[in-house]
Structure 1
């Protein structure tokens, strides 16, 4: 979508389209309060649970299909359509007669909230974070059966010692010792208005080593805090996490990132990334990427931050010699450019991709020019709620990108779903679109809701081949 005119005109048009223009702080709070109807039943705390599948459905694969063109997805059952949460393997090659088919499906137990993100560890183990308390972090036992076909043997919920609402996972080595770091937006209690923690786990045993927690109400005035952490990234002995929004979507919104010293596993600094407030709310930093030499050889390190409610992308310079962070610089202003709700950072060997939920586009930038955002091509036109993505080749060798167009898996009034929120519903296209990576041309679309009566929460490539850089 291209909008011409002044900044004010662009913003007003954008907010009219997505139902946000007339929202006051009070009405926004009322709006997001209704989102939490389905979360009010969440019990505080997290137990260690091991569940096995209830049903497994498989379909015969065509001999021409390749695992490289298959995606693994988290699907949410929709309450009015009688469907259940599952993990599924989809054929994603638009050249295949089975495009969009579920090749394998593993039905999940009924947790208090859906699983949310899939992550592969450096040694190929598959993990999932979850939006509730019963299963906020899990290992998915993905393997191949006796015939060599992909299968899931179990989903094991891990002991987080009460940390809830898991979001992002990162593996990082500090002083020669590897760790698995997980952000928990609900921290150690959803009743805490300043909730949030980072869990440090042993990447081999999955045992919790430490809870990094610094609630704003519990630290001194002006002292560094961790609140509603979502995005996570690291370079050397410095880790950054974002302060996004309380998981009940009513108790608070953040506007900063937190720097954590990985030598001490303690927060040492907060950095505000906020300018205009196009929806009248704090900026809500969501995902963060520490640009570093392992991504771009010889790069001057810096942190890139997407602000969900600020519609902006920021750069925070980093001085490696004295480990200091500079003044944040706004690189992209979505309010004036006609986009909103920037979400993910992904990259391949040549480009960085940033998804924008409104109106549903993926912008692309030259990897070698980072940390500056230098366009490397036209926007890829997806659908509302553009979010996660994977990269792969079709059977004929064409490079493609698949984009998940769904923000949060909530229903709408047409389904008589009590979680209906107009703004959120307009960020849920419930689809996957596949595009030619060179031209942006749309080659195919799979509407998960229309085809399977489910919503889609996340997509990754089968066995982890779908991207080079993530977050």
Structure 2
């Protein structure tokens, strides 16, 4: 098992590269000729009381060079009870950037954003609107000025001392040529303008002083923010093993906390996503930080003392090397459960939300497919509670197809699929394979207009 995981982790680590190119100025794009011909979503039947959009997802699709396809944003039907299941209802072609768009996020007021893995468009706002017939469509994609910050990952909106901010992690910081790259961008959530670049490169701070390096996951409670240290985008210059605490009163890092134990595959632990468990998620909860370590295969808890705003000694809650799982990725939740996706072998574990910050199982694993990653929650036409799971770590090509973006054997952790499951039982109800059906990979999945969103990261 460990030997297999070692191979998979090596594959995964290499897969995270391929995202950095020479820096170019951000650009704004309008609707292309192809986009103007995109197909609108079908309206709901006149006699239906169902909100059909609840089961529709916005997805980021990557073109596969050997299959002569291009990147796009699409709206896809995911209700297995629908005759349109798996169909693209609307598609908006994207310009050719130096790397794909990566994650989708809705702001609290419903604006849609995407981070990007390259340097040409590391952060964008997507104009998801309704036309005169109230049909959803995309009018444009605007690449935002990041003041040189590159390789965007996660976004979070948070209020500090009565002022709202949009925070974005950039694994490439102010330049992917920096071996200790990484920054957190602070943006005005109304204008999208940069307020501050939080940067503390390890080579430029005194020994023992807090640093920010390869930040990926982000979460906050009160005036404390936590970001993870994952890996350098070029893959050659380092892997992290800690999280950084940022004081939101000063917008400066104040502490690094290591979350690493046995190194089951020989790499640093590579913390990836993080969740600050807080009363807005679980009423009366004792706050703590949960951390997934991609190459440690573990989930950690860091206690938080709210009275003096201090963090305690990290505690390992889950060990994937002992339990046959690897590459834990996302935290998602609904009103009763927390879900953690594990790319290897492709499962989603579920925990009782009321028992957080401890991880107490609330049911059997949901058996998805290789690369289990992002997910959305919704109801079927008959009212059945469902979860759709995107099964892809990163959409690189397959060596068997002579794809120039390929990393050897990457297909082993990229199923190129979305599986839909009964949320109560975990039963797999349907699968759509985007490579087979559309000759594209699927990078990210989010609910249309945020209808299925509860809490993420």
TM-score bin, normalised by smaller chain? over 0.9
Contact 1:33/1:250, CA 8 A, preserved across alignment: no
Work out whether 1:103 is the aligned partner of 2:82.
no
The equivalent of 2:449 in structure 1 is: 463
* Shift of residue 145, structure 1, vs aligned partner: 0.5
Work out whether 1:58 is the aligned partner of 2:48.
no
Deviations, residues 149-174 of structure 1 (Å, cap 9, x unaligned): 00101100000010000000000000
Match of 2:224 among 221, 229, 238: 238
Contact 1:406/1:457, CA 8 A, preserved across alignment: yes
The equivalent of 1:204 in structure 2 is: 190
Contact 2:217/2:227, CA 8 A, preserved across alignment: yes
* Shift of residue 467, structure 1, vs aligned partner: 2.4
Contact 1:196/1:227, CA 8 A, preserved across alignment: yes
* Shift of residue 279, structure 1, vs aligned partner: 1.2
Alpha-carbon distance change, 34 to 287 in structure 1, aligned in 2, over 3 angstroms: closer
**Matches of 1:310 and 1:339, distance apart in 2:** 11
Contact 1:195/1:215, CA 8 A, preserved across alignment: yes
Contact 1:167/1:184, CA 8 A, preserved across alignment: yes
**Matches of 1:214 and 1:50, distance apart in 2:** 32
Match of 1:213 among 194, 199, 216: 199
* Shift of residue 426, structure 1, vs aligned partner: 1.1
**Matches of 2:23 and 2:346, distance apart in 1:** 35
The equivalent of 1:303 in structure 2 is: 289
* Shift of residue 353, structure 1, vs aligned partner: 0.2
The equivalent of 2:341 in structure 1 is: 355
The equivalent of 1:153 in structure 2 is: 139
Work out whether 1:142 is the aligned partner of 2:132.
no
**Matches of 2:438 and 2:44, distance apart in 1:** 24
* Shift of residue 34, structure 1, vs aligned partner: 8.0
* Shift of residue 466, structure 1, vs aligned partner: 1.7
Work out whether 1:332 is the aligned partner of 2:318.
yes
**Matches of 1:422 and 1:308, distance apart in 2:** 19
Contact 1:59/1:102, CA 8 A, preserved across alignment: no
Contact 2:392/2:442, CA 8 A, preserved across alignment: yes
Q: Point out where structure 1 has 5 or more consecutive residues left out of the alignment.
A: 1-9
The equivalent of 1:273 in structure 2 is: 259
The equivalent of 1:409 in structure 2 is: 395
Contact 2:2/2:265, CA 8 A, preserved across alignment: no
* Shift of residue 134, structure 1, vs aligned partner: 0.8
The equivalent of 1:7 in structure 2 is: none
* Shift of residue 45, structure 1, vs aligned partner: 4.9
Which secondary structure does the structure 2 equivalent of 1:222 belong to?
Answer: coil
* Shift of residue 19, structure 1, vs aligned partner: 4.9
Which secondary structure does the structure 1 equivalent of 2:204 belong to?
Answer: coil
Which secondary structure does the structure 1 equivalent of 2:410 belong to?
Answer: helix
Alignment length, in residue pairs? 450
Give the TM-score normalised by the residue count of structure 1.
0.93
Which secondary structure does the structure 2 equivalent of 1:451 belong to?
Answer: helix
Runs of 4+ in structure 1 deviating by more than 6 angstroms, as ranges, are none
Which secondary structure does the structure 2 equivalent of 1:104 belong to?
Answer: strand
Match of 1:15 among 5, 30, 39: 5
Work out whether 1:312 is the aligned partner of 2:293.
no
**Matches of 2:15 and 2:138, distance apart in 1:** 35
Which secondary structure does the structure 2 equivalent of 1:205 belong to?
Answer: coil
> RMSD of the alignment, in Å?
1.6
Match of 2:375 among 373, 389, 395: 389
